[in-house]
Amino acid sequence: MTAAAELLRTMQRIRAFEEALAQRADRGFQLFSLGQEAVAVGVCAALGPDDQLLTSGRSIAAALARGVDPVAVMAELLGKQTGTNRGRGGRGHLAQPSRGFFGAHAVVAGNLTIAAGVALALSMRGRGIAACMFGDGACGAGALHETMNVAAVWRLPLLLVCDNNGYSISTPQAAALAPQPLAALAEPFRMPARSVDGMDVEAVRDAAVALVAHVRGGGGPAFLECRSARYATHSTSTRETRPDSERAADRARDPIRAQQQRCEARGEADAARCAAWDAEARAAAAAALRAADAAPYPLAASVLEDVR
Amino acid sequence: MLYQLAVPTPIEDVEELRVLEWHVAPGHAFAPGDLVVELETHKAVVEVRAARAGIVRSILAPVGDWQRLGRPLAVVSDTVDEPLPDAADTLAVMHVDFEVT
Amino acid sequence: MSAAAPAPRVFFREAIGRALAEAMGSDPTLVLFGQDIGRFGGAYREFTGLFERFGAQRVRDTPVAEAAMIGIGVGAAAAGLRALVSITYMDFLMLGLDPLVNYAAKACYKTGGQVRVPLVVKATAGARGQGVAHSQCIEAWLMSVPGLTVVAPATVADAYGLLKSALRHDGPVVFVDHKRLYPTAGELPTDAAEVPFGQARVCRRGDAVTLVAHAYMVRVALAAADELAREGIACDVVDLRSLAPLDVATLAASVARTGALVTVEEGQATCGVGAEVAARVREARGGEPFRVARVAALPAPVSSNPILEAACLPDAARVTTAVRTLLS
């Protein structure tokens, strides 16, 4: 299988996984990455096994793209004892550091300084880099400034990835953030930055590969802005505020369809093959749901465990 | 005449301090302005300088010893042959200049 | 058995410096973060010599950015190092509460035990003429955070012993070093004993009233106890040392003997350390009656004006008045 086809299949798995969960009445409070799959998948294609990925609370795509077991992710999202976090973290805090997924943290911008610390630990142990995904909403927070400053001064091996879907819940970017493009935030810290089409998984991957090489080579931090679009509302409990015309235009930029067309045009996979992969992805999502459903919830009596 | 060389006072924020270094040995003379002893506070060094001439007769607080503000560090005298007293804290306090750095 | 060497007398900062140096020497993963802790040696000289001995990689001067300092310490600790972050004024801890409270204190729980955060935040508290935003004691805020350990030494020996324990603990610890303790000196036991968390210290025995304090206020409570002793009122003085966890057993045992409890703290009375101590002793004592009073800062900001600062903060006179009123 070609690298382009692998990217396609990972995005298909994420899409199928989230859509399967979205259809569940008992899915709980979730933040989906529907439409934004290419960002996590493209970034993870540039990371190696010694690296660590941190994300915001929009975490499902990142966890799956990083290779965390979908059964354990689904179990965690449904609050089951067999989840990655024993059912204690949920969507906002998915984590499996042993798989290079240091994890999600659901405080907007709250993962940035943590990621810099992870990067420092990795650099002092002599291997691996940290990558940190965050939304454009985090770009108005002071933590980003503090993190970029220290990371630049200390030349930390840190890739900052802004998954810019254009909205902080309902607030459009123009009403909240002055810098334009957001990648320009990196300039005063003299770190390399790229702003790419976040709906094009290969563009994301290529930029990530280039920036990761800089970071891994000891050049210090780098900044990657991926201009994406989310298809669903901010969260499963948020009202839609965007006009239908805008949403339709976003849907027309579907990263999965675009990658499939690319694979077909290059002769790397035909439509039937892509459809079969999609069916596989949906079967895997259904299996993950079944496994999660069969797993036990944590005991109420365990509530004080692991508090320390 | 006999005097006591005491920890100078007041030193802001200091309760007690530690003798860091003696610059005049027992039996030796000092002149006005001479650095006699350095004391260490919790965050600074106090340089104690003689405001008059004299002779160090007996060091009561050697290097590393602790002493509280106003308490004696040494017995000094104008001449070398004055007999030493049993206790220093009844002696007049010799005037010193000091600087906290 | 050979006779033990006499315990050396050292400054408070030297007890902290020795604990840090020993921990740095025995644990190569320990990294220190703080403003001016490198060649400068720390605001109170408590880091003196560590930069020269352990180098710039492990003794890190940071920008003035408390959120990043604590966040980086938390992230580094969560990813396999051990971190100590020095916050020069506890007031500025507020700038870094998010990574401390939302991440460090919850990391072990939220990851189902996958992540531990061996982090010490050393926060220098207390008033010394520096004004409304450089004087606060907010340790009571932190006592209610599940997952956080909070300790506050009052002596040289406990500064050493509690810091050594904190630097071996596998979760986040806030170590409160009161700035009025820095001028003090004391004996540092040569056996270099760690002080376990959750063990209060009874530093004076009496049967009339229990005085409970921590950090610098232990000295105030002891001064009050001296004065009360001259009036024939014998105080049990308990130094909490550890605020979270609290040593309720020692407190309850003392109150069982005295029947009266006076708490003394430099922070605010409302939702303060004394409020928690009183409630926990009440729960532990069941229906047994005892009298309670709290002595704390007045409900005003702590001014840099020395008259207003002194008026705001507890002193021995306020403690003795509270005791006499309670017992009368």
List the single residue in A98, A116, A146 with the smallest CB-CB distance to C75.
A116
The pair of three-digit structure tokens given for residue C139, joined into one six-digit string: 């340790």
CB pairs under 8 A between A and C: 133
Q: What is the dihedral of CA C183, C187, C189, C195, to 10 degrees?
A: -50
Is the model's pLDDT at A132 over the cut of 70?
Answer: yes
The pair of three-digit structure tokens given for residue A272, joined into one six-digit string: 């039937």
At C15-62, the pLDDT tens digits run: 999 999 999 999 999 999 999 999 999 999 999 999 999 999 999 999
Q: How far apart are CA C54 and CA C57, in angstroms?
A: 8
Neighbours of chain C (3+ CB pairs under 8 A): A, B
Same domain? C172 vs C256: no
Q: How far is residue B56 from each of residues B28, B90, C214, measured CA to CA in Å?
A: 6, 17, 44
Same domain? C23 vs C154: yes
Q: B74: which strand partners? A: B5, B59
Q: Containing domain of residue A206, as a range?
A: 3-290
Is the model's pLDDT at A92 over the cut of 90?
Answer: yes
Same domain? C218 vs C322: yes
* List of chain C residues whose C-beta atoms are within 8 Å of the C-beta of residue A296: none
Q: How far apart are CA A128 and CA A100, in angstroms?
A: 10
Average pLDDT over residues A167-188: 94
Q: Containing domain of residue C104, as a range?
A: 9-187
Per DSSP, the three-state class of B81 is coil
Q: Would an 8 Å CB–CB cutoff place C47 in contact with chain B?
A: no
Residue A304 is assigned to a structural domain of this protein: no
Is the model's pLDDT at C192 over the cut of 70?
Answer: no
Give C236's contacts (C-beta < 8 A, 6+ positions apart): C202, C204, C205, C206, C207, C209, C210, C211, C254, C257, C258
Question: How many domains in chain A?
Answer: 1
pLDDT of residue C3: 54
Residue A299 is assigned to a structural domain of this protein: no
Residue C259 is assigned to a structural domain of this protein: yes
Q: Containing domain of residue B8, as a range?
A: 2-83+91-100
Per DSSP, the three-state class of C302 is coil
List the single residue in C65, C68, C109 with the smallest CB-CB distance to A306.
C109
* List of chain B residues whose C-beta atoms are within 8 Å of the C-beta of residue C9: 18, 66
pLDDT of residue C7: 81
Q: How far apart are CA C268 and CA C195, in angstroms?
A: 27
The 10 Å Cβ neighbour count of residue C283 is 10
Q: How far apart are CA C30 and CA C52, in angstroms?
A: 15
Residue C170, min C-alpha distance to chain A (Å) = 8
The pair of three-digit structure tokens given for residue C9, joined into one six-digit string: 């007398």
Q: A222-227 and A158-164 as β-strands: parallel, antiparallel, unpaired? A: parallel
Q: Which residue, A27, A13, A127, is CA-closest to A80?
A: A27
Give A217's contacts (C-beta < 8 A, 6+ positions apart): none
- Domain with residue B40: its CATH number is 2.40.50.100
Residue C142 is assigned to a structural domain of this protein: yes
Asked if C110 and A88 come within 8 Å (Cβ–Cβ), the reply is: yes
Question: How many domains in chain C?
Answer: 2
Radius of gyration of chain B (CA): 12
Is the model's pLDDT at B57 over the cut of 90?
Answer: yes
Residue A44 is assigned to a structural domain of this protein: yes
Q: How far apart are CA A86 and CA C206, in angstroms?
A: 50
- Band the pLDDT of A267: cuts 50, 70, 90: very high
Give A211's contacts (C-beta < 8 A, 6+ positions apart): A46, A159, A192, A194, A222, A223, A224
Q: Would an 8 Å CB–CB cutoff place B97 in contact with chain C?
A: no
Cβ burial, residue A214 (10 Å; 0-12/13-18/19+)? middle
Mutate to test the interface with C, among B42, B69, B101 (most CBs of C within 10 A): B42
Residue A297 is assigned to a structural domain of this protein: no
- Band the pLDDT of C5: cuts 50, 70, 90: low
Q: How far apart are CA C122 and CA C87, in angstroms?
A: 6
Asked if C184 and B18 come within 8 Å (Cβ–Cβ), the reply is: no
At C87-132, the pLDDT tens digits run: 999 999 999 999 999 999 999 999 999 999 999 999 999 999 999 9
Per DSSP, the three-state class of C66 is helix
The pair of three-digit structure tokens given for residue B75, joined into one six-digit string: 């017995």
Same domain? C267 vs C313: yes
Is the model's pLDDT at C313 over the cut of 90?
Answer: yes
Mark B26-42 as b/e (b = at least 16 C-beta within 10 Å): eeeebeeebbbbbbbbb
Average pLDDT, chain C: 96
| CA A291 to chain CA centroid, nearest Å | 23
Give C118's contacts (C-beta < 8 A, 6+ positions apart): C77, C82, C83, C169, C170, C171, C172
* List of chain B residues whose C-beta atoms are within 8 Å of the C-beta of residue C12: 42
Q: How many residues does chain B have?
A: 101
3-class SS letters over A143-183: HHHHHHHHHHHCCCCEEEEEEECCEECCEEHHHCCCCCCHH
Question: How many domains in chain B?
Answer: 1
The pair of three-digit structure tokens given for residue C6, joined into one six-digit string: 């006499």
Average pLDDT over residues A253-274: 96
Same domain? C181 vs C207: no
DSSP characters over B32-72: TT-EEEEEE-SS-EEEEEESS-EEEEEESS-TT-EEETT-E
Same domain? C172 vs C310: no
Same domain? C33 vs C172: yes
Q: B72-77 and B2-6 as β-strands: parallel, antiparallel, unpaired? A: antiparallel
DSSP characters over chain A: --HHHHHHHHHHHHHHHHHHHHT-TT--S----TT-HHHHHHHHTT--TT-EEEE-S--HHHHHHTT--HHHHHHHHTT-TTSTTTTSS-GGG--BGGGTEEEE--STTTTHHHHHHHHHHHHHHTS--EEEEEEGGGGGSHHHHHHHHHHHHTT--EEEEEEE-SEETTEEGGGT---SSGGGGGGGGT--EEEEETT-HHHHHHHHHHHHHHIIIII--EEEEEE---SS-SSTTSPP-S-HHHHHHHHTT-HHHHHHHHHHHTTS--HHHHHHHHHHHHHHHHHHHHHHHHSPPPPGGGTTTT--
List the single residue in B14, B15, B43 with the smallest CB-CB distance to C44.
B43
Report CA torsion sign: A102, A108, A114, A116: positive
CB pairs under 8 A between B and C: 26
Q: Would an 8 Å CB–CB cutoff place C128 in contact with chain B?
A: yes
- Domain with residue C272: its CATH number is 3.40.50.920
Is the distance from CB of A43 to CB of A7 less than 8 angstroms?
Answer: no
Is the model's pLDDT at B72 over the cut of 80?
Answer: yes
Q: Which of C187, C222, C243 is the last residue of a domain?
A: C187
- Band the pLDDT of C1: cuts 50, 70, 90: very low
- Determine B/A contact with 3+ CB pairs under 8 A as the test: no
Q: Is the peptide bond before A181 cis (omega within 30 degrees of 0)?
A: yes
Mutate to test the interface with A, among C109, C173, C174 (most CBs of A within 10 A): C109
B14 → chain C, closest CA residue: C183
Residue A305 is assigned to a structural domain of this protein: no
Q: What percent of chain B is predicted at pLDDT more than 90?
A: 82
Cβ burial, residue C230 (10 Å; 0-12/13-18/19+)? exposed
Is the model's pLDDT at B32 over the cut of 60?
Answer: yes
Residue C19 is assigned to a structural domain of this protein: yes
Question: H or E stretch including C322?
Answer: helix C316-327
The chain C residues in contact with chain A (CB within 8 A) are 31, 57, 60, 62-63, 65, 67-68, 70-81, 83, 98-99, 102-103, 108-116, 146-147, 170-171
Average pLDDT, chain A: 96
In Å, the largest CA–CA distance within chain C is 60
Q: What percent of chain C is predicted at pLDDT more than 70?
A: 98
Residue A37 is assigned to a structural domain of this protein: yes
Mark A45-59 as b/e (b = at least 16 C-beta within 10 Å): bbbeeebbbbbbbbb
Asked if C183 and B14 come within 8 Å (Cβ–Cβ), the reply is: yes
pLDDT of residue B15: 86
The 10 Å Cβ neighbour count of residue C178 is 28
Could you confirm whether C14 is annotated as catalytic? no
Q: How far apart are CA C22 and CA C50, in angstroms?
A: 10
Same domain? C179 vs C235: no
Q: How far apart are CA A176 and CA A126, in angstroms?
A: 39
B66 → chain C, closest CA residue: C9
Round to the nearest angstrom and report the end-to-end CA distance of chain B: 31
C66 → chain A, closest CA residue: A146
List the single residue in C73, C103, C146 with the smallest CB-CB distance to A110.
C103
At C257-274, the pLDDT tens digits run: 999 999 999 999 999 999
Q: How far apart are CA C15 and CA C36, in angstroms?
A: 19
pLDDT of residue C101: 98
At A216-230, the pLDDT tens digits run: 999 999 999 999 999
Mutate to test the interface with B, among C9, C10, C11, C179 (most CBs of B within 10 A): C11
* List of chain B residues whose C-beta atoms are within 8 Å of the C-beta of residue C45: 42-43
Asked if B42 and C9 come within 8 Å (Cβ–Cβ), the reply is: no
Query: Can you say whether residue B87 is alpha, beta or left, with left for phi > 0 and alpha for psi between -120 and 50 degrees?
Result: beta
Same domain? C164 vs C29: yes
Q: Is the peptide bond before C6 cis (omega within 30 degrees of 0)?
A: no
Q: How far apart are CA A174 and CA A301, in angstroms?
A: 48
* List of chain A residues whose C-beta atoms are within 8 Å of the C-beta of residue C110: 85, 88-89, 93, 95
Annotated catalytic residue, options C14, C46, C134, C309: C134
Is the model's pLDDT at C4 over the cut of 60?
Answer: no
Q: Which residue, A91, A50, A57, A49, is CA-closest to A74?
A: A91
Could you confirm whether C266 is annotated as catalytic? no
